[in-house]
Chain A
Amino acid sequence: MKKHKTKEREGDHGTPSGITRRAFLSRSILTGAAIGMASQGFLPILNTVDLAFGAESFRFAWISDTHLYPETLNTRFVEKATKAVNDVNAMKPEPDFLVFGGDLAQLGDPAELDLGAEILKKINVKKHFSPGEHDWYLDMGEKWVKTFGKPTWTFDHKGTRFIGLDTISRGPDYWSAKKMTPKERMGHMATLDGSVAGPWAGVGKDQLDWLSKILSDWGKDKPVIIFSHNPLYEYYPPWNFWVRDWRDLHEVLRPYSNVTNIHGHTHQVLYNEIGKMRSIGMLATSWTWPYAPEGVPVLTTPMVRVDPGDHFDGVGWGKITVTATGKTDHEYMMWRKDVYAQTQVDSGIGDNDNQILSPRYADRP
C-alpha cells in the first residue's frame, strides 16, 4: 500500500481563523487559483450562489455511530450517546428533526439495539433512522426494521427533499459457503480492516431506480439532502469508505445541481465534492477512525489528532442548517475547542506523512 496521497503543504496548513467548526459548502463557484488553495487544505471563505426558493431557514441534528455494547460491558459509549442526546435536546430553538445515521449497535445484538432505542427515545423532536452494517448482519436487519422501520425513505421539508439511502444491506453473501454462524457473519462485518466481508457497501440497482423515480418530479436546482451510512464516493475501499456503485449513483444525480450527502461510518471530519454533489462526513459519538492511508479528499480540512486518553475527544454530533436560499451548512459539534488542525504536527493527516501501511495478514485465505 502506498503512502497516502493527500497533498500537504509544509508547515502550518490550518484553517483560516473564523472557521472553527463549520464546513463551508460553498466552493462550487471556485475557479483557477482558488482551487489550488483548496487542494492544500485551506478553504477560502466564500458565500454560495444564492438560490432563492422563498423557503424558510431551518435546522436539524445528526447523531450516528454510537456503537453501543450491552451496558454491562461498556458504559462509556452509553455516556457519549446520552451526552449527544442531551445536547440535541438543549438546542434552542429546537431542531426540526433528528437523523440517526447508523451503527447504533456494535454487534447487532437485540440488547444493544434496544439500549439505543431507549437512549434515542429521549430526543424530543421527530426522528429518522438509517441503519449501519453493525445494526444489520446478526439477523439481517430483522430487529432493526421492526424497531426503526424500513431502511430507505424520503420526505419533503420546507422546500428540501430528504432521502435516506440504505448503503449497507446489499453485501454479497460471504457467509453461506463458509457456513458461518450469524455471530461470525456479524464479527467479520464489524472488523473495519478485515477482508472477509469484501466490498459490502452499495446502493443497488433497485434503490437507484427508486431514487431516479423519487427525484423525477423534483426541480433540478432545488435542494436535495441524501443521508447514507457510507460515503457516496470512493474514499478508501479496503475499509469500505465508499459504495461500490458510486459511479452509477452519480449518473442518477447528474441532472441535480444542489445535492448534499451527509454520511456516517468514517468517524472523522471529511468534506468532498464529486460532480455537483457535496459530501460531508460526520463525527461518531463512540470513537474516531484515523484518516485512511490514501484517498483522503483534498478538499478536506483535517481534524486534530485525538488524545487517546480522553474518550470524549474527537467525537460528537452534528448541527445542520438549511438556509432560506437552499444552502446547507454544517457545524461539527465536537466535544473539544478546536476541531480542525492548526499545524501539521497536530493534524490527523499531517502526522501520518511518513506512514506506509499494509493490509492485514491473519485474515488472508
Chain B
Amino acid sequence: MKKHTLFKLGTVAVLTGLSLFVLFGTDLVMAHKAKHTPEQLKAFEEVFMEQVKIGDLLFHGDAETEKMMGTRLSRTGMACAMCHPFASDTHPQEFPKFQEQINKFSTLRDMINWCIEKPNEGEKLDPDSDAMKALEAYIYWSNRGSKLTPGVH
C-alpha cells in the first residue's frame, strides 16, 4: 500500500512537472527563440519611450505629470533640469559608485533621491516606484552612447 501510494504520488509529481513544462516552460523558452517581428520591436520601444516621456516631464517639473504620478519632487520651485539640462551632469554611466554627498556606495536611484530630498527639498521616491523608473529611463536615454565607466568619480 505504502509503496503503491508513493509510486502514485511520484507519478503525479512527474506528470505535473511535465505538464507545467509543457504549459509554461517550453512557451517561455520558445518566446525567446522565436524571431522578433518588427511590430514586437516597435511595441517594446513604445513602452520604453512612454517612460522616457514621463521621466522627461517629471525631470522638468511638469505639474500635471507630477499629479498623475503622485509625486512631490521639489518644494523650492527648482526642477531637476534646472541643474541638468538634457540630463547633463547626471552621469548614469558611472553608477554604482561611492557617492560623496551620500557617503556610501550608491546607485543612480540613490542619487536621484538625494537630489530630490536635499537641493529640491521634495519627497523622496520609493526606489522601485513607477516615477523612479521613469526618471531613470529619461536619464539613461538622454545619456545613451556614453561609455559605461561604473565606479568612476
**Residues of chain A at the chain B interface (Cβ within 8 Å):** 1, 69, 73-74, 76, 106, 191-194, 238-239, 287-290, 292-293, 307-309, 311, 345, 351-352, 354-363
Nearest CB in chain A to that of B54: its residue: A362
Q: A239-B85, A287-B83 are in contact. Are A356 and B143 (CB under 8 A)?
A: yes
Given A290-B89, A308-B83, A362-B60, CB of A357 within 8 Å of CB of B76: no
Q: How far is the CA of A356 from the CA of B83 in the complex (A)?
A: 17
A143 to B38, CA, bound (A): 55
Chain B residues with Cβ under 8 A from A191's Cβ?
Answer: 60, 81
Please, which residues of chain B bring their CB within 8 A of the CB of A362? 52-53, 56-57, 60, 62
Is B85 touching A289 in the complex (CB atoms < 8 A)?
yes
The CB with the most chain B CB atoms within 10 A, among A1, A311, A362, is that of: A362
With a cutoff of 8 Å between Cβ atoms, the chain A residues found around residue B112 in the complex are none
The distance in angstroms between the C-alpha atoms of A132 and B89, with both chains bound, is 25
| C-alpha gap A198/B57 in the complex (Å) | 19
Minimum C-beta distance from B10 to chain A (A) = 57
B118 at the interface (CB under 8 A from A): yes
In the docked arrangement, what's the CA distance between A362 and B78, Å?
19
Q: Are B146 and A354 in contact (CB under 8 A)?
A: yes
Distance in angstroms between the alpha carbons of A212 and B5 in the assembled complex: 105
CB distance from A355 to the nearest CB of B (A): 5
Asked whether any CB of chain A lies closer than 8 Å to the CB of B147, the reply is yes
> Which residues 11-51 of B sit at the A interface, judged by CB distance below 8 A?
49
Q: Does B7 contact A (CB under 8 A)?
A: no
| Interface pair A356/B145, CB less than 8 Å apart | yes
Asked if residues A193 and B85 are in contact (CB atoms below 8 Å), the reply is: yes
Does the CB pair B81–A354 fall under 8 Å?
no
Summed over the interface, the residue pairs from A and B with CB atoms below 8 Å come to a total of 92
Q: Which residues of A contact B152 (CB under 8 A)?
A: 354
> Chain B interface secondary structure, helix, strand, loop or mixed?
loop
Q: List 12 extra interface pairs beyond A293-B88, A362-B57, CB under 8 A.
A: A106-B77, A191-B60, A192-B81, A192-B82, A290-B84, A293-B86, A309-B118, A351-B89, A355-B89, A357-B87, A357-B88, A358-B145
Complex Cα distance, B56 from A248, in Å, reads: 36
Q: Are A361 and B49 in contact (CB under 8 A)?
A: yes
Bound CA–CA A244/B97 (angstroms):
41
Residues on B lying within 8 angstroms of A by beta carbon are 49, 52-53, 56-57, 60, 62, 76-78, 81-89, 91, 93, 101, 115, 118-119, 138, 141-147, 149, 152-153
- Report if A308-B77 is in contact (Cβ < 8 Å); known contacts: A357-B143, A361-B49, A361-B53: no
Q: List 5 tightest A-B contacts by C-beta distance, closest first.
A: A193-B85, A362-B56, A356-B145, A357-B86, A290-B89
* Bound-complex Cα distance A132 to B93 (A): 35
A338 CA to B83 CA in the complex, in Å?
Answer: 21
Chain A residues near B52 (CB-CB < 8 A): 361-362
- Residues on B with beta carbons closer than 8 Å to the beta carbon of A357: 86-88, 142-143
Q: Whole-angstrom distance between the alpha carbons of A351 and B91 in the complex?
A: 9
Task: Determine the chain B residues whose CB is within 8 A of the CB of A106 once the complex forms.
Answer: 77
Q: How long is the Cα–Cα vector from A246 to B43 in the complex, in angstroms?
A: 45
Given A287-B83, A345-B153, A352-B89, decide whether A360 and B56 contact each other with a Cβ distance below 8 A. Answer: yes
- In the assembly, what is the distance between CA of A354 and CA of B15, in Å? 55
CB distance from B67 to the nearest CB of A (A): 16
B117 → chain A closest CB, angstroms: 11
Partner of A73, one of B77, B82, B93, B101: B77
6 contacts between A and B (CB under 8 A): A69-B76, A308-B115, A309-B101, A354-B147, A355-B143, A362-B60
Among A238, A311, A355, which residue has its beta carbon within 8 angstroms of that of B146?
A: A355
- Residues of the A chain whose Cβ atoms lie less than 8 Å from the Cβ of B83: 287-290, 308
Separation in Å of the A133 CB from the closest CB of chain B?
A: 14
Q: Which residue of the partner chain B has the closest CB to A2?
A: B145
Q: Are B81's CB and A355's CB within 8 A?
A: no
The answer to whether A74 touches B86 (Cβ under 8 A) is no
| A358 lies within 8 A of B86 (CB) | yes
Q: Is the CB of A290 within 8 A of B88?
A: yes
Complex-state Cα separation, A32 to B85, whole angstroms:
37
Are B86 and A193 within 8 A (Cβ)? yes
